[in-house]
A and B are shown apart, each in its own frame.
Chain A
Amino acid sequence: MSCEAERCPSALVIGYGSSLRGDDQAGPMAAGQLSRLGFACRVAAQLTPELAADIAAARRVIFLDASVEVAPGEIAVLPLTPQPVASGPFDHHLTPAGLLQLAVDCYNWRGEAYLIAIGCDRFALGENCSTPAQRAIARAIRAVCDL
């Protein structure tokens, strides 16, 4: 696959999900492949506040996450804006929009962001991705390259 990571040198890709929950690892898997194509990537089980420091230096941020709201095998590219919304009462992790807001408040971040939702449907314990998820991961990689 040809891909021009250097076209946007300040882009940051954040792939997140559990590597032990089947298709939930779609985000990290896609980020791992994009890293080999030269993209600056972070892989995380969940979105934690420290990622705001990484976002601070990026003009464009692309989140990659498995989604049940998109048909298995498909993807959706969604523009994101910062939102001061916590994910819940536990505060261990944030939503993509919440994390962007943290970067705005703490680092005065100004940039563009996208969420690429990777359509998946198998989240049982296991280290393998389903065939539809693998198809969607390939599409997500292409979408990042095309952004």
Chain B
Amino acid sequence: MKKITIAPVSRIEGHAHITIHLREDGEVESTQFHVTQVRGFEKFVEGRPYYEMPGITARICGICPISHLLASAKTCDALMAVRIPPTAAMLRELIHCAQVVQSHALSFFHLSAPDLLLGMDFDPARRNVLGLAAKWPEQARDGIELRKFGQQIIERLAGERVHPSWIVPGGVASPLESEAREEILQRLPHAREIIRRTLELYKSMLDRFAEEVENFGTSATMWAALVDPAGNLQLYDGRIRFAGMNGELIGDAAPEQYGGAIAEASLADSYMKAPYYRPLGIPNGIYRVGPLARLNVAGCCGTPEADRELAEFRQRFGRVPASSFHYHYARLIEITYALERIKQLLDTPGILDSQVRARAEVNAAEGVGVIEAPRGTLIHHYKVDANGAMKWANLIVATGHNNLAIGRGVEQVARHFIDGNRLREGMLNRVSALVRAFDPCLSCSTHASGVLPLRIELRSASGAVLDELRS
């Protein structure tokens, strides 16, 4: 049997490699998606005061620290048993929307646009953000400025772009200043213009990717995302909804009851956990999260422009588009939603109120906080002792939820596009592009479930396993 290794998978957050086993006739026999880095945050936070958790867990990632700050702060709110001031909740949602804008812009413009605009078969040495800028300068500039807009809001609210300490247990550290509100409102129309023309461009070129749409992770999976009480898109708060492959309601779970809905498996060849819908097990309980899942689960977005785009999306591809290629499209619709939501929040009376933090000691031994991070549902779960020292933590991170679906998608893309007898780089790039469509954040997602599934194999030159060591 021949073996192809794609290492590393480029233009993703974190480190992974893919193994593709070929039969003698050149057809794909099987594939494996390996996440090769290991973290350990759940273990080394034990003993730390609970109020340090937002600051510690934000360090899991430099791309989406705001997501961890929010999920962690919500978990701390639960440990304190407080209801945070309404203005604090709005400000948290505001910074979250800014995070979604900058993170989705990074994924679309800097990581995936080289494939989409330059082409899957373009020279790999120039298939990157610099190659994009050389051939599509306006789009590269749009990506820079959209991401910068999101980061500027984060910096204006929280003082720093990466790892700010503004989001705290009980709310936020300081109120929104009037000048900051005005600045954001002033810059908002430019950001909205960018996303409008990006959506138009993207829709105009979709026909060129009919084969990718048809073969990028289309296998039947469930979907999971937070929804509001009306069943619509919700990024900051709500209950976790599980829907079937056609969007039918399977079940809802309150955040603190996630354990009844989600179980986590360990895989032998990856440091990433593999969550699944507990009542259905594997494979029927495999689900996807993230932008496409959110749009498939939600009734609507709840803002006018995003809802118009969502209606067109569904008109073109059905009520529940299955192809993971559509994560890109969904990401652009969500940027539209986030920009509209920023405007709504800034126009809400009370957004400048000074009461933004509730204070309390520990009043509960256990807490759960859930948000929709840019890449999908993010769950923090802590247990503390009477003094508030961390006894136990579990983090289920967006990319982890997608682990099994990514593995399936890799196999589907490899089987369709790879011909082992006439191997071309573009074939392998499509396998990587499938992974990129999910925008995985592997730095975030490599958390242990029980014993780390470490395996060392000693193989002879012919590939036979001579010895094996398992943890």
A interface, CB within 8 angstroms of B: 45, 49-50, 52-53, 84-86, 89-92, 94, 98, 101-102, 105-107
Contact of A84 among B134, B137, B145, B148 (CB under 8 A): B134
Docked complex Cα distance between A94 and B141 (Å): 16
Contact of B128 among A52, A53, A91 (CB under 8 A): A91
Q: Are A49 and B143 in contact (CB under 8 A)?
A: yes
Given A53-B144, A91-B10; A86-B137 close (CB under 8 Å)? no
B160 to chain A, nearest CB (A): 10
Q: Name the interface residues of B110-137: CB closer than 8 Å to any CB of A.
A: 110-111, 126, 128-131, 133-134, 137
**Please, how many angstroms separate the alpha-carbon atoms of A53 and B131 in the complex?**
17
Residues of A within 8 A of B68 (CB): none
What is the interface of chain A mostly: helix, strand, loop, or mixed?
Answer: loop
Most buried by B among A49, A84, A90, A92: A49
B151 interface hit (Cβ, 8 Å): yes
Which residue of the partner chain A has the closest CB to B432?
A89
Asked whether B147 is an interface residue with its Cβ less than 8 Å from the other chain, the reply is: yes
Q: B8 interface residue, CB < 8 Å from A?
A: yes
Contact check, A91 vs B144: say whether CB atoms are below 8 A apart.
no
**Sample of 20 A–B contacts (CB below 8 Å):** A49-B129, A49-B140, A49-B143, A84-B126, A84-B130, A84-B131, A86-B128, A86-B131, A90-B8, A90-B11, A91-B11, A92-B63, A94-B129, A94-B130, A102-B130, A105-B137, A105-B140, A106-B133, A106-B141, A106-B144
Closest approach, in angstroms, between the C-beta of A105 and any C-beta of chain B?
4
Residues of chain B within 8 A (CB-CB) of A50 are: 144, 147-148, 151
Taking the complex as formed, is B352 at the interface, i.e. its CB lies under 8 A from any CB of chain A? no
A53 to B130, CA, bound (A): 14
Q: Which of B13, B62, B131, B133 has the most CB of A within 10 A?
A: B133
| A52 to B109 CA separation, bound complex (whole angstroms) | 14
Q: Per DSSP, are chain B's interface residues mostly helix, strand or loop, or mixed?
A: helix
Which residue from chain B places its CB closest to the CB of A83 in the assembled complex?
B130
Among B8, B126, B133, B134, point to the contact of A89 (Cβ < 8 A): B8
Q: State in angstroms the CA–CA spacing of A90 and B62 once bound together.
A: 14
Contacts of B130 in A (CB 8 A): 84-86, 94, 98, 101-102, 105
Looking across the interface, which residue of chain A has its beta carbon closest to that of B114? Answer: A91
Q: Which residues of A contact B162 (CB under 8 A)?
A: 45
B interface residues, Cβ below 8 angstroms from A = 8, 10-13, 62-63, 110-111, 126, 128-131, 133-134, 137, 140-141, 143-145, 147-148, 151, 162
The 10 closest A-B CB pairs, nearest first, are: A89-B10, A105-B133, A106-B141, A50-B148, A86-B128, A105-B137, A84-B130, A91-B11, A102-B133, A106-B140
User: For B144, what are the chain A residues with a Cβ–Cβ distance below 8 Å?
Assistant: 49-50, 52-53, 102, 106
Cα distance A91–B140 when bound, in Å? 13
Q: Are A106 and B128 closer than 8 Å at their CB atoms?
A: no
Identify the closest chain B residue to A52 (Cβ): B144
The residue on B at minimum CB distance from A108 is B137
Neighbouring A residues of B110 by C-beta, 8 Å:
49, 91
Shortest beta-carbon distance from A74 to chain B in Å: 30
- Whole-angstrom CA separation of A107 from B130 in the bound complex: 13
CA distance A106 to B134 in the complex (A): 8
A107 x B141 contact (CB < 8 A): yes
Q: How far apart sit A106 and B140, CA to CA, in the bound complex (Å)?
A: 7
Q: B129 near A45 (CB under 8 angstroms)?
A: no
CB distance from A58 to the nearest CB of B (A): 15
C-alpha gap A52/B203 in the complex (Å): 27
Within 8 Å by CB of B111, from A86, A91, A102, A106, lies: A91
Nearest-CB residue, chain A, relative to B145: A53
- Contact residues in B for A107 (Cβ distance below 8 Å): 141
Which chain B residue has the least Cβ–Cβ distance from A95?
Answer: B130
Residues in B neighbouring A106, C-beta threshold 8 A: 133, 137, 140-141, 144
